[in-house]
């Protein structure tokens, strides 16, 4: 169900509010209602932080048709000899996924990893209490990690700290990462894998603050329980990076700030990341409010950053934010829509793609603290890739993620942005142009979302300390209207090549209504 604001949604069935004080975004925003043109100043020495490529990650859960019928479909004409769908594999490779999370999500809170190893014909089918289906366990640890190697992405495993035990968590690390001989590593060798995979990223449970979660605990109980798991996991492999289950429940009776503070009081010396989860939507069909959703995500990032800084007082350690579940999700949710096989299958339109681009801007603009982000999910289930038995199509949200993941690297730049704004119920000044900038070895990438539904808006980019070298390439994601959707027959929303001209210290470009545009070029 939706929260009290137009765009923010919960993970399952509680209403979410958000009462933190408004905080400024990294770009310096100044409303200028009298002008329709924006002025954006760029100083290449004003750096927010290094952009970690892992903010372009994704998420796969044993849910609906994400794995079975999506990534993995053995015995069908579309699958390779290992059972992975070749058409999906190509689309995933083109998306440049940098970090892939598995097996959940809610599913992980009742998952025993031992059920998914060994000979497939001997693996036990289990009732999945999270999503109301029976999981065959035909896709398990080996299949997931082999798939990550195939698509050249970093794996991220989420352990069961719901119904699971410390031993289960520790021995999963041992199975995946220990090179010596033990009873656990012999199981790996019997499955045909001699050398360990060396999985670096591990989540300490999923959404443990949510009452919808199996094994839901209070913050104090979770912190104590996760601490012992963390110690045993790092004793097994000291090189791993651990993610604490941070805020997912923003309901009116939930103290998400207190949850994070308490969890960090137990785990600050053992974890490397704190997770945040946010889903957004437009159930009220209010375009202006919907476009402002990324500003609320920035608020949450800023509050969480303050909590992290406070928790680390007196420590030299660094803990970063892992936004390891985020996306648009509101149509395929609610009572009667979250149990069974063909569930959570959102069909996305152009306005969803613009919000996705805005959320990616939020991660880039906060690159100093957000070091992991995982769009949820990869195939079919609230996903950029959608399949049937004959093939696939790329949803509207595929294109902004692909453009960011292919181009926006290096340093995130702090920008001065001056231009027209509009008001919403929550914000007095929402910039019509939402902007981020990345600089990498002399290549400048500008990501611009025009939130105006009807007007083209021009902007002049002014370099303070360097000069443009000439022409810029432009990629524009747009469509005939904000409700345009892609399907198996047509792709009205996609990335199209454009051009932009720069001279000296200035680049001027007009951004069409309801569009996301990436500008990329060299600095002299």
275: helix, strand or coil: strand
3-state secondary structure 418-470: EECEECCCCCCCEECEEEEEEEECCEEEEEEEECCCCCCEEEEEEECCCCECC
> What confidence category does residue 253 fall into, taking pLDDT thresholds of 50, 70 and 90?
confident
Phi/psi region, residue 80 (left: phi>0; alpha: psi -120 to 50; beta: rest), is beta
pLDDT at 6: 59
Q: Please state the rounded mean pLDDT for residues 374-394.
A: 98
How far apart, in whole angstroms, are the C-alpha atoms of residue 245 and residue 322? Answer: 10
Which uninterrupted H or E stretch holds 311?
helix 293-311
- Cβ neighbours of 277 (radius 10 Å): 26
| pLDDT tens-digit readout, 145-172 | 999 999 999 999 999 999 999 999 999 9
How far apart, in whole angstroms, are the C-alpha atoms of residue 101 and residue 325? Answer: 9
> Which domains, from first to last, does the chain contain?
22-48+413-522 (2.60.40.1180), 52-408 (3.20.20.80)
> What confidence category does residue 118 fall into, taking pLDDT thresholds of 50, 70 and 90?
very high
Q: Please state the rounded mean pLDDT for residues 59-73.
A: 98
pLDDT at 333: 94
pLDDT at 34: 37
How far apart, in whole angstroms, are the C-alpha atoms of residue 376 and residue 278? Answer: 10
Q: Please state the rounded mean pLDDT for residues 20-47.
A: 62
| Per-residue DSSP letter, 204 | E
Q: How deeply is 342 buried, as exposed, middle or buried, from its count of CB atoms within 10 A (0-12, 13-18, 19+)? A: exposed
142: helix, strand or coil: helix
Token readout for 445 is: 């990438």
Token readout for 316 is: 């030299």
Contact by Cβ (8 Å): 84, 126: no
Q: How high does pLDDT run on average in the chain?
A: 93
Residue 353 or residue 524, greater confidence: 353
User: Which residues touch 415 (CB under 8 Å, ≥6 apart)?
Assistant: 26, 27, 28, 40, 41, 42, 435, 436, 437
pTM above 0.75, yes or no: yes
How far apart, in whole angstroms, are the C-alpha atoms of residue 256 and residue 252? Answer: 10
> What confidence category does residue 252 fall into, taking pLDDT thresholds of 50, 70 and 90?
confident
Which uninterrupted H or E stretch holds 400?
helix 398-407
11 pLDDT more than 60: no
pLDDT at 7: 74
Strands (E), 150-258: 154-158, 201-204, 241-244
How far apart, in whole angstroms, are the C-alpha atoms of residue 510 and residue 414? Answer: 22
Token readout for 517 is: 């545009």
> What confidence category does residue 511 fall into, taking pLDDT thresholds of 50, 70 and 90?
very high
35 pLDDT more than 80: no
Q: Please state the rounded mean pLDDT for residues 36-42.
A: 94
Q: Please state the rounded mean pLDDT for residues 341-355.
A: 97
How far apart, in whole angstroms, are the C-alpha atoms of residue 436 and residue 447? Answer: 5
| pLDDT tens-digit readout, 407-430 | 999 999 999 999 999 999 999 999
Contact by Cβ (8 Å): 465, 522: no
How far apart, in whole angstroms, are the C-alpha atoms of residue 412 and residue 290? Answer: 25
User: Which residues touch 224 (CB under 8 Å, ≥6 apart)?
Assistant: 266
12 pLDDT more than 50: no
- Cβ neighbours of 33 (radius 10 Å): 11
**With the CA atoms of 356, 400, 103 and 237 taken in that order, what torsion angle do they form, in degrees rounded to the nearest 10?**
-110
How far apart, in whole angstroms, are the C-alpha atoms of residue 395 and residue 71? Answer: 16
Angle at 333 between CA 327 and CA 338, to 5 degrees: 115
How far apart, in whole angstroms, are the C-alpha atoms of residue 325 and residue 31? Answer: 32
Residue carrying structure tokens 């939706």: 2
Of 49, 51, 45, 27, nearest to 466 (Cα)? 45
Q: Please state the rounded mean pLDDT for residues 490-519.
A: 96
> What confidence category does residue 36 fall into, taking pLDDT thresholds of 50, 70 and 90?
confident
> What confidence category does residue 9 fall into, taking pLDDT thresholds of 50, 70 and 90?
low
How far apart, in whole angstroms, are the C-alpha atoms of residue 338 and residue 168? Answer: 28
pLDDT at 135: 97
141 pLDDT more than 70: yes
pLDDT at 471: 82
| pLDDT tens-digit readout, 266-311 | 999 999 999 999 999 999 999 999 999 999 999 999 999 999 999 9
Q: Please state the rounded mean pLDDT for residues 328-343.
A: 95
Would you name the residues annotated as active-site residues? 207, 325
């Amino acid at each position: 169900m939706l929260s009290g604001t137009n765009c923010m949604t919960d993970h399952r069935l509680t209403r979410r509010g958000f009462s933190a004080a408004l905080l400024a975004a990294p770009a310096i925003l100044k409303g200028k209602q009298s002008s329709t043109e924006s002025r954006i100043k760029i100083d290449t020495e004003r750096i927010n932080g290094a952009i970690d490529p892992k903010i372009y990650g994704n998420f796969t859960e044993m849910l609906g048709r994400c794995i079975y019928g999506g990534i993995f479909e053995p015995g069908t004409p579309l699958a390779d000899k290992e059972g992975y769908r070749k058409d999906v594999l190509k689309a995933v490779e083109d998306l440049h996924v940098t970090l892939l999370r598995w097996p959940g999500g809610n599913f992980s809170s009742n998952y025993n990893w031992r059920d998914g190893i060994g000979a497939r014909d001997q693996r036990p089918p289990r009732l999945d209490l999270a999503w109301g289906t029976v999981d065959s366990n035909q896709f398990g640890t080996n299949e997931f990690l082999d798939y990550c190697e195939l698509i050249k992405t970093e794996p991220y495993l989420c352990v069961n700290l719901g119904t699971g035990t410390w031993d289960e968590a520790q021995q999963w690390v041992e199975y995946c990462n220990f090179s010596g001989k033990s009873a656990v590593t012999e199981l790996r060798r019997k499955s045909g894998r001699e050398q360990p995979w060396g999985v670096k990223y591990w989540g300490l449970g999923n959404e443990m603050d949510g009452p919808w979660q199996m094994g839901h605990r209070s913050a104090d109980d979770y912190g104590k329980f996760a601490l012992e798991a963390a110690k045993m996991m790092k004793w097994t492999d000291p090189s791993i990076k651990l993610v604490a289950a941070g805020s997912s429940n923003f309901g009116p009776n939930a103290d998400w700030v207190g949850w994070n503070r308490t969890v960090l009081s137990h785990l600050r010396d053992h974890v490397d990341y704190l997770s945040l989860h946010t889903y957004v939507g437009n159930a009220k069909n209010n375009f202006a409010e919907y476009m402002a959703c990324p500003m609320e995500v920035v608020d949450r990032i800023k509050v969480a950053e303050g909590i992290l800084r406070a928790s680390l007082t007196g420590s030299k350690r660094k803990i970063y934010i892992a936004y390891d579940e985020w996306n648009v999700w509101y149509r395929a949710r609610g009572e009667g829509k979250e149990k069974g096989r063909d569930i959570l299958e959102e069909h996305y339109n152009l306005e969803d793609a613009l919000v996705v681009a805005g959320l990616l801007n939020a991660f880039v603009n906060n690159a100093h603290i957000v070091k992991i982000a995982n769009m949820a999910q990869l195939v079919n289930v609230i996903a950029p890739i959608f399949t049937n038995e004959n093939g696939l199509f790329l949803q509207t949200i595929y294109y902004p993620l692909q453009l960011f993941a292919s181009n926006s690297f290096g340093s995130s730049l702090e920008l001065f942005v001056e231009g027209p704004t509009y008001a919403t119920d929550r914000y007095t000044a929402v910039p019509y142009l939402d902007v981020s900038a990345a600089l990498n070895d002399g290549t400048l990438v500008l990501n611009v979302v025009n939130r105006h539904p009807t007007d083209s808006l021009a902007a002049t980019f002014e370099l303070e300390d360097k000069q443009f070298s000439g022409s810029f390439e432009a990629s524009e994601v747009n469509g005939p209207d904000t409700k345009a959707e892609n399907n198996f027959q047509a792709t009205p929303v996609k990335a199209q090549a454009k051009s932009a001209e720069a001279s000296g210290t200035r680049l001027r470009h007009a951004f069409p209504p309801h569009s996301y545009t990436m500008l990329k070029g060299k600095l002299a």
